[in-house]
Amino acid sequence: MQKIYGSAAEALDGVLFDGMTIAAGGFGLCGIPELLIAAIRDAGVKDLTIASNNAGVDDFGLGLLLQSKQVKKMMSSYVGENAEFMRQYLSGELELEFNPQGTLAERMRAGGAGIAGFYTKTGVGTVIAEGKEHKDFDGETYILERGIFADLSIVKAWKADDTGNLVFRKTARNFNPPAATCGKICIAEVEEIVPRGALDPDGIHLPGIYVHRLIQGEHEKRIEQRTIRAA
């Protein structure tokens, strides 16, 4: 199977539709699929549900899709850096499903493993538990969380070979692997595509069986917040 495409727009061709659910990798602005996000914005699809650790910032990352009013619902664990997200949520324009970070990652991993749901103690007794099934195990109360099954996964990796085996760099190995597994189609953008056999098999973080399409590109790698000491 030929997995390498010439651009993000080409890789997304025939995949996008209104009302779809997208799982997006990254943490803050680290390891986000910025090229694919920009191409989704340019494609103009709307009423999207996006499962991602965060919502980007106002003019970068998933914040671009919020600016263009293409997102109907966010499933996230942190949204504190995006003023437009706050405005849309408080005005009732945007649905929000808050998840503790570990729960969100496990929901993605569960979806990728074909697991419909799991029980966790995280969130018991809080607003997170409202409307969810409660069950006791060994005298402790747990809540039922559903696995995430997305129409599309978009992720960012450091290196790939032509079969789609992925290697993530440092902190970018966060939500990207579980996000990649839970979509019907996974598209990965990478900094470098190396020849088959160049990657150490023991160093591969995500097997290529999960990855359907690949692009290579230049990335901005913007820093979310920079704090420096006065001279």
The answer to the question of residue 199 being in a domain is yes
Q: Is it the case that residue 214 has pLDDT exceeding 80?
A: yes
> pTM to 2 decimals?
0.93
Tell me the average pLDDT across 216-228.
81
> CB neighbours of 174 closer than 8 A, spacing ≥ 6?
25, 26, 27, 30, 31, 53
Distances from the Cα of 227 to the Cα of 83, 144, 224, 230, angstroms: 20, 40, 10, 10
pLDDT tens figures, 159-183: 999 999 999 999 889 899 999 999 9
pLDDT score recorded for residue 227: 82
Q: Is it the case that residue 231 has pLDDT exceeding 90?
A: no
The answer to the question of residue 200 being in a domain is yes
pLDDT tens figures, 96-142: 999 999 999 999 999 999 999 999 999 999 999 999 999 999 999 99
* Distance in angstroms (rounded) separating the CA atoms of residues 68 and 89: 15
The answer to the question of residue 140 being in a domain is no
Tell me the average pLDDT across 183-212.
97
Helical (H) or strand (E) element with 85: helix 83-90
Of the candidates 222, 151, 152, which has an alpha carbon nearest to the alpha carbon of residue 188? 152
pLDDT tens figures, 53-63: 988 888 899 99
pLDDT score recorded for residue 229: 86
Which CATH number goes with the domain that contains 42? 3.40.1080.10
Range of the domain at 103: 8-115+149-216
* Distance in angstroms (rounded) separating the CA atoms of residues 154 and 32: 9
* Distance in angstroms (rounded) separating the CA atoms of residues 183 and 135: 29
